[in-house]
Amino acid sequence: MKARRNKKQVPSFRKLLKTSKVKLENKLKNKQFKQQSTLKKYRKEQRKLRQAVKDAVSKKPIPLEDPKKKRPGKRIEREEEEEEEALPLDMMDEDDLQLMKDLGQRASFLTRDLSSSEPVHARKRKHERVIDKYEKIPRTLQTAPEKELIHLLPIKDKSGIIPRTREKPVIDSNQDEEDQEEMEPEEEIIEEPIKELTLEEHLIERKKKLQEKKMRIAALASAILSDPESNIKKLKELRSMLMEQDPDVAVTVRKLVIVSLMELFKDVTPSYKIRPLTEAEKSTKIRKETQKLREFEEGLVSQYKFYLENLEQIVKDWKQRKLKKSNVVSLKAYKGLAEVAVKSLCELLVALPHFNFHNNIIVLIVPLMNDMSKLISEMCCEAVKKLFKQDKLGQASLGVIKVISGFVKGRNYEVRPEMLKTFLCLRIKEVEVKKDTEDINKQKKFMTFKEKRKTLSRMQRKWKKAEEKLERELREAEASESTEKKLKLHTETLNIVFVTYFRILKKAQRSPLLPAVLEGLAKFAHLINVEFFDDLLVVLHSLIESGDLSYQESLHCVQTAFHVLSGQGDVLNIDPMKFYTHLYKTLFKLHAGATNEGVEIVLQCLDVMLTKRRKQVSQQRALAFIKRLCTLALHVLPNSSIGILATNRILMHTFPKTDLLFDNESQGSGVFLPELDEPEYCNAQNTALWELHALRRHYHPIVQRFAAHLIAGAPSEGSEALKPELSRRSPAELFEAYSMAAMTFNPPVESSNSKRKDKVLQGDSFLSEEISQLIKRHCSEVATQSPVDFTKYLETSVRLPTEAKLEVSDQRRMPPSGLD
């Protein structure tokens, strides 16, 4: 055996590798071929089995035709043609003719599939189909009328497939007719004329129906609130009441259901977004509690989606003035229904910014902000403002800003200004972001080494050190993540806001959106990139110089320019003298009428222009503004006067040398020119603040107090000093606090006539005693006919003035006593 083994040549490793590869490939091919062949066989067998079952169910025995029945015409023609083609009977042998007759009596001949090439009496094969046994059973001729059969599923037995049928029950037509005749009189008896209700009865019936519906809504809502997870299916039942068809109560019931569902979703909805389950999660086994929670979440999301779709459809139908086929709700009532639907959408927008389909609600609400209906437009704008104010992170705000920007661009900037005014409520001030971050992550004071050594043992110190290290790492991770996310969202939001603003400044300068754009730029100017400052200031100056702007729009331009320069613009070498001149010129356009509200913008501008830029403001400019502001305080409303005087107080403290305005003597050369619009060259140092003495006698007590305070030199202590409630408030806050929007004085103004007369003179008390006696005497005399002669009275009246003149002349000629 050993010799035989040694004779055999040992193959090399490379050869073995090659042969093994070939073998493996052949094995793989064989395996694949076998699998394919077995699959084909299996499919073929399945196909045969399905066909057999189908044939057994569908095919029914075809009876021989009754010779007495006439055949249709087409069939006769076809048979005639076949007879022409066939051989005549006289040419056939007797044996052949007899065979044909015998075959004609067999049912299998007629029912056999003639398309097959197999003979009738073929030998049985090994794999003969079981259905052939059924096919070869001779069928009896039916002389009786054919009964309709219902084919049932076949039964498979050891012997083979057993088909099953059942006779269809035949309903006698005569009996049907009798039943119909019997029913007709009953129907006639049932039909009664509808009783007409009076208006009062109709109202009582409506009230009753409405009460029932209210009770039903209340019962369903309370059941859902008591156990949301178990009764989530009742949401569907409640939502189905949105399709109320009773015309008497349809509108009211639908409104109640809309509001009820909105409140339910606000209460039941979890504080997280529900995501769809993956296939792996669905296939895994879970506990009953988890399964119940999943069913609740799926049901809640689906019902919430259907509810939002219903609200959207209501709004669309109202916008398109479209009525449903049922005509249950009129077009007039649809407006009220749409308003309730919009209100519900606004509530859900604000209450559920974290939940599913929030972006869908935004897409519905934003176009309605520009709606023709003022009520709906204001409702949507207020909801968006509320969302901006409460959104700390900025995710929801970003979604709304994107949709608004796209909508404004799509409408070619022809939208309501209120849409852009909502941007002012965005929480994107850097100070607020930092403040929020500090509030979230307050600096925790860790123990020093000396404190640890005094109070803790060695083991406790070790544990404390590890704990502090872990806390520090966690705090840093949380802070960095939240801050980075917030800054990223805020940056993206601001980019979209500025793109919208700059597009309007570039393309639609005469648009009614310009005031909202300028106001927004004034608020967010400190966040604009420095690269855009030069271009922005040039655009703002050109807008002011064009003269197309109103006083309010021009004030917003000035405010925006100085906000830009007060922030990152400090590094730029730009002289804003033209903006100072424009504000100085615009001040006299304000008065106690409609322009009184513009004083608030003026106060904000003065704070940025003079107080915060004190180093860049000359003394001449400060004096000119103080003088013009005192003049303006005389002809505006009390709240504006208070704000202006508070601003003057701050300016006097900021620029101490302005106290020369309390001196009557002129300082330097020149005369004050109040009509000149250049603050640097109007010689304000040569005038005095005489307006303060007029304001000291103002009817409003707070104005009086401020005027007296300024006349005394605005002291911080002493009898003329202001109370803390007045001195600690900013001018803008005082303007708001003493506003006259409610058409009342704050505080109430005393009446000018404080002294009241105890006695009121009436009637005869105004006359002297002699005149009253003369009147009585003349009244008591009897009227007598006497000639009327006025000449004597005329002579006396002429004589008296001449005598008086002579006496006066004599007195003038006489020398004064003591000078003889």
Task: With cut-offs at 50, 70 and 90, classify the pLDDT of residue 172.
Answer: low
Tell me which of 334 and 210 has the higher pLDDT: 210
Compute the average pLDDT of residues 719-743.
88
Distances (CA, A) of 806 to 798, 803, 816, 817: 13, 5, 18, 20
Q: Is the pLDDT of residue 341 over 90?
A: yes
Q: Is the pLDDT of residue 309 over 80?
A: yes
Question: Is residue 644 within 8 Å of residue 632, measured between CB atoms?
Answer: yes
Tell me which of 70 and 291 has the higher pLDDT: 291
Describe the crossing of helices 395-410 and 458-507 by its angle, rounded to 10 degrees. Answer: 10
Residues sharing a CB contact under 8 Å with residue 195, sequence separation 6 or more, in sequence order: none
Of all residues in the chain, the percent with pLDDT exceeding 70 is 69
Cα–Cα distance for residue pair 342/369, rounded to 1 Å: 11
Structure tokens at 274: 């529900």
Summarize pLDDT for 739-787 with one digit per residue, the tens.
Answer: 887 778 877 877 665 445 445 555 555 566 777 788 888 777 655 555 5
pLDDT at 804: 47
pLDDT at 266: 92
Question: Is residue 148 within 8 Å of residue 128, measured between CB atoms?
Answer: no
Structure tokens at 717: 């202590």
Q: Is the pLDDT of residue 446 over 60?
A: no
Distances (CA, A) of 342 to 314, 391, 555, 662, 758: 9, 21, 36, 61, 63
When computed from its CA atoms, the radius of gyration of the chain, rounded to whole angstroms, is: 52
Tell me which DSSP letter residue 578 carries: H
Summarize pLDDT for 240-295 with one digit per residue, the tens.
Answer: 988 888 888 888 999 999 999 999 999 999 988 888 888 888 888 888 888 888 88
Cα–Cα distance for residue pair 1/546, rounded to 1 Å: 117
542-573: string of b/e by CB count within 10 Å (b at 16+)? ebbeeeebeebbbbbbbbbbbbbbbeebeeee
Amino acid at 536: L
pLDDT at 220: 92
Summarize pLDDT for 403-423 with one digit per residue, the tens.
Answer: 999 999 999 889 999 999 999
Cα–Cα distance for residue pair 606/595, rounded to 1 Å: 17
**What is the rounded average pLDDT for all residues in the chain?**
77
Q: Which residue has the tokens 């590094």?
A: 571
Instruction: Give the burial class of 147: count Cβ atoms within 10 A of its Cβ; 0-12 exposed, 13-18 middle, 19 or more buried.
Output: exposed
pLDDT at 69: 47
Question: Is residue 644 within 8 Å of residue 633, measured between CB atoms?
Answer: yes
Amino acid at 414: E
Question: Is residue 581 within 8 Å of residue 624, measured between CB atoms?
Answer: no
Q: Is the pLDDT of residue 795 over 70?
A: no
Task: With cut-offs at 50, 70 and 90, classify the pLDDT of residue 82.
Answer: very low
pLDDT at 475: 66
Distances (CA, A) of 262 to 125, 331, 337, 351, 505: 75, 24, 14, 10, 41
> Chain-centre distance of CA 50, in angstroms?
59
Task: With cut-offs at 50, 70 and 90, classify the pLDDT of residue 305.
Answer: very high
Structure tokens at 731: 């001018």
Alpha helices in 88-229 (DSSP H): 94-104, 107-111, 131-135, 173-190, 199-226
Task: With cut-offs at 50, 70 and 90, classify the pLDDT of residue 339.
Answer: very high
Q: What is the DSSP string of 362-404?
A: HHHHHHHTT-SSHHHHHHHHHHHHHHHHH-SS-HHHHHHHHHH
Give the CA angle between residues 125, 130, 132 to the nearest 5°: 75
Question: Is residue 537 within 8 Å of residue 583, measured between CB atoms?
Answer: no
Compute the average pLDDT of residues 219-227.
92
pLDDT at 466: 83
Closest CA to 206 of 244, 168, 159, 158: 244
Ramachandran category for residue 698: left, alpha or beta (phi over 0 → left; psi -120 to 50 → alpha)? beta
Q: How many CA atoms lie within 13 A of 426 on its CB side?
A: 32
Task: With cut-offs at 50, 70 and 90, classify the pLDDT of residue 394.
Answer: confident
Q: Is the pLDDT of residue 138 over 70?
A: no
Question: Is residue 258 within 8 Å of residue 311, measured between CB atoms?
Answer: yes
Q: Among 263-277, 351-365, 444-458, 716-730, where is mean pLDDT lowest?
A: 444-458
Q: Among 211-225, 315-329, 339-353, 649-663, where is mean pLDDT lowest?
A: 315-329
Task: With cut-offs at 50, 70 and 90, classify the pLDDT of residue 710.
Answer: very high
Q: What is the DSSP string of 320-363?
A: TT---TT--S-HHHHHHHHHHHHHHHHHHHHH-TTSTTHHHHHH
Helix (H) or strand (E) holding 162: strand 161-167
pLDDT at 86: 46
Q: Is the pTM of this model over 0.75?
A: no
Tell me which of 600 and 429 has the higher pLDDT: 600
Summarize pLDDT for 658-680 with one digit per residue, the tens.
Answer: 888 888 776 667 888 988 989 99
Cα–Cα distance for residue pair 212/219, rounded to 1 Å: 11
